[in-house]
């Protein structure tokens, strides 16, 4: 592999590239899906290939190959340079300039206690089927779904600056859902333990079985739940729910390529423009968002990004003020940064790396505060658990979120379940209304496994940790109220 990498870089250089890198990657992926008491989907694949990226005449060029021979690698390197030269005909405003980076010669291989690919598929499927059976024991549960996902990425990165980086990272995740039909309605409830870059030891087998009856019961309870109230409510959001809110309203909003207008697909720009850096109030004083690609087990903890930049920890929002972005070596100089934050990642050897959301977490509250105490301190609110529907505008400002499960809070007590709850807000107003965050005992590193970005779309993963947090006087139930009052136009 090392020889092939050297050869690609030599060819790119001799063809006139001022910079080149190569990623040679072997992927192993396995996904098991069950419905009720049967296996409904099975994917188990292995794939190997290389991508060569170059700068020539001030422009990027890229080519990939699934054939790992000397000839194919040389061809890819020549093709990448030809693509860069063709791109330069479009006369871009400025040449690509990379933020400087040190030379790294290193291996990154976090510990995997149990290689998930050595665990028989039948064992995994049987666990999901047992979970399904446990949920179907509840007569009102009519449908169950279970899944497990395992990924291993073994990557050799080399560039013309002399870096040589070996990466070997495994990801393990699982989850399930029960859907109930009762009371003239159909509702669901899900269970998703935090996905992590780790081995099969991350699959909490006993907990998955133990939680199944509760998940089934709550799916049924959801059918009988009271319709959402409409109006301003105090919301308490659980860590899994917050993972999605953070992802959409903070993560994507602080990807610098989007901020700069260089990448606009899929609700692609951002209000969080560079003149706001260091002075814009993104949230209240208790709100701190930290990016941390060094987080052990983090879904974006790959040691180095696809620019060959090491994983880092830095502030995105500090005591409510916008402090940073996720960057690549290409976009970092646009904000005067002297080093990239290491956020450039591709989802495949055949994809060009793009700026990605890091592991991005809401810091726990500094004062001792439990979830029970937070609920006890709330007079009229809703406690929302899990992820549901969402939509957000192309500037990452106006949004609406649903959830997986909703509990009505009256005078400091949970009094029952609600359904069809959605809330609407505007990013800085929403985070500005956050007045309490539970302490570190309640912090959970959930995450997103299927973040889509770019065109053609690439899929990435990242962790979003949080403790339960409270948001004051948020507009709730508008969507549901509009739906109920909607009449056919005559």
Q: How many CB atoms lie within 10 A of CB 133?
A: 14
The separation between the first and the last C-alpha atoms of the chain, rounded to the nearest angstrom, is 69
- Size of site (CB under 5 A) for Zn ion: 1
* Coil, strand or helix at 258: helix
Min dist CB 251 to Zn ion, Å, is 7
- Interface residue with Zn ion, options 73, 99, 451, 474 (CB under 5 A): 451
The span of 254-262, 332-340, 420-428, 451-459 binding Zn ion (CB under 5 A) equals 451-459
Smallest separation (angstroms) from Zn ion to the CB of 252: 6
Residue with smaller CB distance to Zn ion, 4 or 299:
299
**Residue nearest Zn ion by beta-carbon distance:** 451
Nearest residue (CB) to Zn ion, 153 versus 255:
255
State the minimum distance, in angstroms, from the CB of residue 16 to Zn ion. Answer: 37
Residue number, 265 or 294, with CB nearest to Zn ion: 265
Question: Among residues 28 and 464, whose Cβ is nearest to Zn ion?
Answer: 464
Nearer to Zn ion, 83 or 362 (CB): 362
Q: How far is the CB of 357 from Zn ion (least distance, A)?
A: 6
List phi, psi (to 5°) of 194.
Answer: -60, 125
Q: Which is nearer to Zn ion, 50 or 392 (CB)?
A: 392
- Closest by CA position to 474, among listed 400, 369, 375, 373: 400
Q: Which is nearer to Zn ion, 354 or 451 (CB)?
A: 451
**Range in contact with Zn ion (rule: CB under 5 A) among 287-295, 399-407, 434-442, 447-455:** 447-455
The backbone region for 233, taken as left when phi is positive above 0, alpha when psi lies in -120 to 50, beta otherwise, is beta
CB 275, min distance to Zn ion, A = 25
| Span of 68-76, 149-157, 280-288, 445-453 interacting with Zn ion by CB under 5 A | 445-453
**Does 474 interact with Zn ion (rule: CB under 5 A)?**
no
> Does 456 sit behind a cis peptide bond, omega within 30 degrees of 0 on the bond before it?
yes
Angle 155-103-27 (CA atoms, 0-180°, nearest 5)? 5
* Nearest distance, CB of residue 423 and Zn ion, angstroms: 20
Considering the complex, state which of residue 434 and residue 451 has its C-beta at the smaller distance from Zn ion: 451
The residues facing 390 across adjacent strands are 401
What minimum distance in Å lies between the beta carbon of 453 and Zn ion? 6
Please give the Cα distance from 32 to 38 (Å, whole number): 11
The residue ranges that bind Zn ion (CB under 5 A) are: 451
């Amino acid at each position: 592999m090392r020889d092939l990498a050297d050869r690609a870089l030599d060819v790119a250089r001799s063809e006139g590239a001022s910079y080149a890198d190569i990623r040679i990657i072997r992927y192993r992926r396995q996904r098991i899906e069950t419905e009720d008491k049967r296996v409904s989907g099975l994917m188990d694949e292995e794939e190997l290939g290389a991508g060569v990226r170059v700068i020539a005449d001030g422009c990027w060029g890229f080519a990939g190959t699934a054939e790992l021979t000397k000839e194919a690698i040389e061809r890819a390197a020549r093709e990448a340079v030809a693509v860069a030269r063709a791109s330069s005909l479009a006369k871009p405003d400025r040449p690509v300039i990379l933020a400087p980076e040190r030379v790294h010669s290193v291996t990154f291989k976090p510990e995997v206690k149990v290689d998930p690919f050595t665990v028989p598929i039948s064992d995994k499927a049987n666990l999901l089927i047992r979970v399904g059976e446990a949920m179907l024991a509840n007569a009102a549960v009519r449908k169950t779904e279970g899944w497990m996902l395992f990924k291993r990425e073994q990557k050799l990165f080399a560039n013309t600056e002399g870096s040589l980086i070996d990466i070997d990272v495994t990801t393990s995740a699982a989850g399930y859902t029960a859907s109930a039909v009762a009371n003239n309605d159909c509702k669901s409830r899900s269970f998703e333990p935090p996905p992590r870059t780790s081995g099969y030891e991350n699959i909490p087998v006993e907990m998955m079985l133990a939680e199944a009856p509760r998940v089934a019961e709550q799916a049924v309870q959801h059918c009988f739940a009271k319709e959402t109230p409409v109006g301003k409510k105090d919301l308490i959001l659980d860590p899994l729910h917050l993972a999605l809110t953070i992802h959409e309203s903070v993560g994507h909003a602080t990807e610098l390529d989007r901020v700069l207008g260089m990448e606009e697909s899929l609700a692609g720009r951002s209000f969080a423009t560079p003149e706001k850096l260091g002075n814009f109030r993104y949230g209240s004083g208790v709100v701190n968002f930290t990016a941390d690609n060094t987080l052990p087990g983090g879904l974006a903890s790959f040691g180095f990004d696809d620019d060959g930049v090491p994983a880092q920890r830095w502030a995105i929002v500090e005591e409510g003020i916008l402090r940073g972005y996720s960057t690549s070596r290409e976009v970092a100089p646009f904000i005067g940064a002297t080093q990239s934050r290491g956020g450039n990642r591709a989802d495949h050897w055949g994809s060009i790396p793009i700026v990605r959301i890091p592991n991005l977490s809401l810091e726990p509250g500094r004062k001792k505060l439990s979830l029970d105490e937070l609920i006890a301190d709330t007079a009229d609110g809703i406690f929302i658990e899990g992820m549901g529907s969402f939509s957000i505008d192309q500037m990452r400002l106006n949004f609406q979120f649903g959830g997986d499960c909703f509990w009505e809070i009256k005078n400091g007590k949970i009094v029952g379940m609600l359904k069809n709850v959605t809330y609407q807000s505007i990013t800085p107003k929403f985070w500005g209304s956050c007045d309490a965050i539970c302490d570190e005992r309640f912090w959970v590193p959930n995450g997103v496994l299927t973040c889509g970005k770019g065109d053609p779309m690439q899929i990435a993963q990242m962790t979003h940790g949080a403790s339960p947090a409270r948001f004051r006087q948020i507009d709730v139930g508008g969507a549901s109220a509009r739906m109920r009052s909607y009449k056919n136009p005559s």
